[in-house]
Structure 1
């Protein structure tokens, strides 16, 4: 057995295979046990590392390379996911709170370091590690609908200050530790860092915009360009004498605006989240010394002092902001709880400090414990306090939402890609219902997929199938009494045919049937629906209809907050309810800890929303406190024959944890018809405005 393990340690492919197996099996297993997936990765690294089974060697070249890539990727994603727009909205207050939540923990950490006999350099580095924070609880405030509260936006904006500050201190500490570090060398380093940061932030931002404009839809080249930027920035940081994670973080900030929410960003983050970042956390587990870990747990003094110092430092920062800007206690506690979790920059800086012999193994162990503790405590406290936040002036926003961009004609066009004869009838019926309400027409589309070396007989079969589907769609539309124009298209792929045809016809809406393709292939390459969403210019209604849309009489609309893109779902609900005289239920699933006053406030906001967007409709508003939104929606759907959802892009936190889309989970559990509304990546201005209002204005 020992010979086998020795062979595995020396074989790079074996190391990589072990990493893939851990990433594939461990996190889902821990999440089923209601434990963080990252904790599973750390423990798996500990198990296969030199202190237990010794299957993987820390000194393996393959492991060092993969871990370094994961470390760089972790900080790149941390920079990439900082919301620059949120920071700009409240930049003054965000900068102030960022300074508070940086310096208070820095001072606390430095004092703790000195108390336990560390040198000044190591003590200041320890304090800077406390100073940053990871927005691990962002999905919670997003689900509660309080992202617009100033306390939340200020905390989000402060992340950029704390992360940059922590990385700057790390760069200086590593430089000082290298020896022969005078004041002149310190000034030289800071000036070099300033020049280098300017080149990365402004140079790569400008270069990225030019490259993306010229490369058009060549996602492969754009993906490679982003990777090149990341590693060039990391290499540049090392050339001026600072750690590569500083360059990776700056690269994330530099291409933040360039990538936006594009499909290239999803692919870049996806690769990091499922592969390289998890390997970094496994590597942290490899480093943990079991004996030292048990010793540090048994003494507890250092770990306890670090945790208390962090909690007090972060609280003082939030309390100082309360005194300065007159925040209430719920806002103050939310800022405190959001800034508690220590994951991304904390672990990255700790690992660098450990590798440079600035931090001992016991300190690294304590920081791992701190990560688990603060991640748990921060999310629990955020659930409690954020649920009590109130948005100032909250209510129905007077935002212009339009079906039709001004650049298009008034005639409403619904494109219906047809592929499956079994679902074609209901799909065309739904498109006809929507088009009739908006005084428009439908465009049934059949795409014959063809490639360069396709033989004549195969192409003829594709065309025959497509013509048959279009003939059937034409007959259905005639029976319904709606104008239709069929389109037959030969294209390289189905999704390209749909996106190109919709642009050529200037369609305002695409109605598609649900694709059942799932699994690894769909996650890596995307389904036809995913790719249409990435390329299209207009909204897409993805449907799974179990009956005729003409018979829908009870519509359920789960809605997170009375603001933003929820209006699109309400517009669809209004059309269907108006056509079928159906009842609409607005369902808001909230935290069980929410107060009764807050529930009534929400109810009043949603009733106001219904009065504005569902006039003359039979509407019921339900506010349901529940721990599991999925279970709540599924339970309520049993009394309805259609559920309308909005499809949100997956987000990741800097720790590389994917936040699953609620719509994707519900598809597998709902037993009634459903409609998922997807939005294009680059919407024209006013993509959801009411066509009728435009017609009336011109009349």
Structure 2
């Protein structure tokens, strides 16, 4: 009885959860892990699920998480800063430079028209001029939420797309500056004198961040060498220093975070440190920001107030119509066709990164009411779903109309000298695992024979502080045994071999440096699975080699000898040159084994038969240029799920050759799942993943391996 009375005296569950800060954090982690997966299965953005979860778990729902708790305030504040930093970091400065005039032009249309419409909507519903201008500034920016779709379809080089991407620089910066002015006006700190002072400080601050941080970052990265940990910490320090500096001069920290992203943009490039920085934000802090934003939403406001419903409808309709008008103006001035104009419109519709960050700041400072906050959240939900949906339907036509002319110059074969000496093709084969060593050597031997080249078996002994350390001696002896076995196997396979033993700080830098020193044309590596948190956060050896290598890297998972391969499948998602390289790679293997290659292209289930026929003829033309003597078979399947379609087709094949595609991120969004990664987990046959160099330089890869000049 005493036990039962104690149970009855227990506090309600919500009170217990409110007192234990670790419990809400555990709930947050479950939400961040599970909810995006569920919503992406429903073909909805994961961030939509996080917002809805926040509404359900917040004070206007089950009241399990308190948005005013110290933990939530801190984590969501970091997420807010991180969101704007990633938005600046993901902007493609090079594309903006290539289409500066037109990007500024479309940026002006996409900023000016929605700004005017937003002000008009605000005035209609009785808001003062400052709040109305603030609403207009929220309309003016946009988030490239559908960029991964554009990238998958292979139309990123279409001028209309690059102009839209470049316009993001103008719209985001202008919207954030307008935000700073509106906040200053609302707090009563802005008069003519203060405005001049604020603009002066803002100019000095922006110069220090954009120029100073860029210079300091490049110097630090130059001196820190391969120390990715310190580089990672430097980037985080730059972000929060910029945020603090912004607050010191009287502007919002999100402006500083965005400028910091622009400042370190070129310093980081498309390297491993950038991937780690974005990963940390997308995996933890940015999702928490979206959940916290959901905690503030009160949907009951809409049910109690008819005027609030009308305001929401006007905001959603005003944004969509104003963005369409901006795209229409660009079409008329720059003579784009309707598909390009609608694609520009769909890309500029989503309001996620800068819009949500500015909305939260406006709500906290009192510029926006609770009703407006709810309306803007609904605007985000509608546009983040509608924009990518339209893009996926319309941009398919762009790939058929414009890809062919862009690909042909990039896939002309280049046949270097095939004589002896330094001109011969060299294939580096890092060996570490005796169980996979034989198949790796066999694969490299097949490729080397086709190009009259040689293989370089490479063993890395990791360095220690003292060169006479016992552990180094053990490592050297093991490496020598592996190299002796590789050399013997090479003689059996009748291929020239030049074994190389190297002492280096780590496996990845040792492989990349040795390949560069030997002027290798290709690196053939064994498969390495991601295990543990460190591998997921900081990557494994394969990740590092792919990021740093000067030449293509073939990552293999071979379940049988490459000499037994008779049927090779090459799935391609789009028809652009970087993803066409696996076709030629597979063709070389097929010629060595008298095998058959099948090129598989997956298109949307609703694709018409005429478009499928056009795609087939286009692909046949490209394949005939890559393999004129023995072109592979071509299959085009209309399917709603790319991964499932490839898995079903791969059951009849011995080997699948895939392009190694890095997981993509979107400004202010979450990590997009990668088809290549899913296939690698589920395929039971042998796999070769072909990774291209990450540098933006022309790379000539060897005849007999992938004989094309690739611009990446």
TM superposition score category, shorter chain reference: over 0.9
Alignment partners' CA distance in 1, 2:696 and 2:592: 28
1:636-672 superposed Cα distances (whole Å, 9 cap, x missing partner): 2223222111112222112331112221111122232
Report the counterpart of residue 5 of structure 2 in structure 1.
none
Give the superposition deviation at 1:77.
Answer: 0.6
Give the superposition deviation at 1:83.
Answer: 1.1
Flag the 1:122–1:684 CA change in 2: closer, same or farther, 3 A.
closer
Flag the 1:405–1:327 CA change in 2: closer, same or farther, 3 A.
farther
Flag the 1:198–1:493 CA change in 2: closer, same or farther, 3 A.
closer
Contact 1:429 1:548 in 2 (8 A): yes
Report the counterpart of residue 697 of structure 1 in structure 2.
none
Give the aligned CA root-mean-square deviation in angstroms: 2.9
1:123 aligns with 2:132: yes
1:334-368 superposed Cα distances (whole Å, 9 cap, x missing partner): 11111111111111011011001011111111111
Report the counterpart of residue 342 of structure 2 in structure 1.
333
Give the superposition deviation at 1:288.
Answer: 1.8
Flag the 1:203–1:463 CA change in 2: closer, same or farther, 3 A.
closer
Alignment partners' CA distance in 2, 1:404 and 1:252: 41
Flag the 1:197–1:404 CA change in 2: closer, same or farther, 3 A.
farther
Flag the 1:297–1:501 CA change in 2: closer, same or farther, 3 A.
farther
Contact 1:395 1:605 in 2 (8 A): no
1:315 aligns with 2:328: no
State TM-score, norm by structure 1.
Answer: 0.92
1:576-630 superposed Cα distances (whole Å, 9 cap, x missing partner): 1222222222222222343444333332332222122112114222232222111
Report the counterpart of residue 555 of structure 1 in structure 2.
568
Alignment partners' CA distance in 1, 2:230 and 2:256: 22
1:190-218 superposed Cα distances (whole Å, 9 cap, x missing partner): 33323322222222222222222222212
Report the counterpart of residue 495 of structure 1 in structure 2.
508
SS at match of 1:650: coil
1:661 aligns with 2:661: no
**Residues 529-568 of structure 1: pairs in structure 2 closer than 5 A:** 529-568=542-581
Alignment partners' CA distance in 2, 1:532 and 1:76: 27
The equivalent position to 2:178 in structure 1, one of 125, 144, 169, is: 169
Contact 2:551 2:699 in 1 (8 A): no
Flag the 1:383–1:218 CA change in 2: closer, same or farther, 3 A.
same
The equivalent position to 2:143 in structure 1, one of 117, 122, 134, is: 134
SS at match of 2:51: helix
Count of residues in Structure 1 that have an aligned counterpart in Structure 2 = 693
1:38 aligns with 2:47: yes
Report the counterpart of residue 381 of structure 1 in structure 2.
390
1:262 aligns with 2:271: yes
1:275 aligns with 2:258: no
1:675 aligns with 2:688: yes
1:29 aligns with 2:38: yes
The equivalent position to 2:457 in structure 1, one of 426, 438, 444, is: 444
1:399-455 superposed Cα distances (whole Å, 9 cap, x missing partner): 67879899x931222121223333222211110111122222112233455756999
Give the superposition deviation at 1:556.
Answer: 1.7
Alignment partners' CA distance in 1, 2:531 and 2:35: 21
Give the superposition deviation at 1:11.
Answer: 5.6
Report the counterpart of residue 146 of structure 1 in structure 2.
155
Alignment partners' CA distance in 2, 1:341 and 1:521: 34
Report the counterpart of residue 612 of structure 2 in structure 1.
599
Report the counterpart of residue 592 of structure 2 in structure 1.
579
Contact 1:410 1:691 in 2 (8 A): no
1:280-336 superposed Cα distances (whole Å, 9 cap, x missing partner): 111101212353254469952111111111111111111111111222111111111
Give the superposition deviation at 1:685.
Answer: 4.3
1:153-188 superposed Cα distances (whole Å, 9 cap, x missing partner): 111111111111111111110010011522332233
1:499-530 superposed Cα distances (whole Å, 9 cap, x missing partner): 34434434332111112344544312322212
Give the superposition deviation at 1:4.
Answer: 6.5
1:96-127 superposed Cα distances (whole Å, 9 cap, x missing partner): 11111111111111111111111111011011
Report the counterpart of residue 439 of structure 2 in structure 1.
426
Please, which runs of 5 or more residues in structure 2 have no aligned partner?
1-9, 708-712
1:613 aligns with 2:626: yes
Give the superposition deviation at 1:491.
Answer: 4.8
Give the superposition deviation at 1:378.
Answer: 0.9
Report the counterpart of residue 391 of structure 1 in structure 2.
402
1:252 aligns with 2:261: yes
Deviates further, 575-584 or 388-397: 388-397
**Residues 71-82 of structure 1: pairs in structure 2 closer than 5 A:** 71-82=80-91
Report the counterpart of residue 645 of structure 2 in structure 1.
632
Contact 1:537 1:683 in 2 (8 A): no
Flag the 1:693–1:623 CA change in 2: closer, same or farther, 3 A.
closer
The equivalent position to 1:651 in structure 2, one of 664, 672, 688, is: 664
SS at match of 2:699: coil
Deviates further, 519-528 or 238-247: 519-528
The equivalent position to 1:505 in structure 2, one of 518, 538, 543, is: 518
Alignment partners' CA distance in 1, 2:181 and 2:549: 47
Contact 2:106 2:327 in 1 (8 A): yes
Give the superposition deviation at 1:232.
Answer: 1.7
Report the counterpart of residue 92 of structure 2 in structure 1.
83
SS at match of 1:658: coil
Deviates further, 276-285 or 610-619: 610-619
Alignment partners' CA distance in 2, 1:674 and 1:504: 28
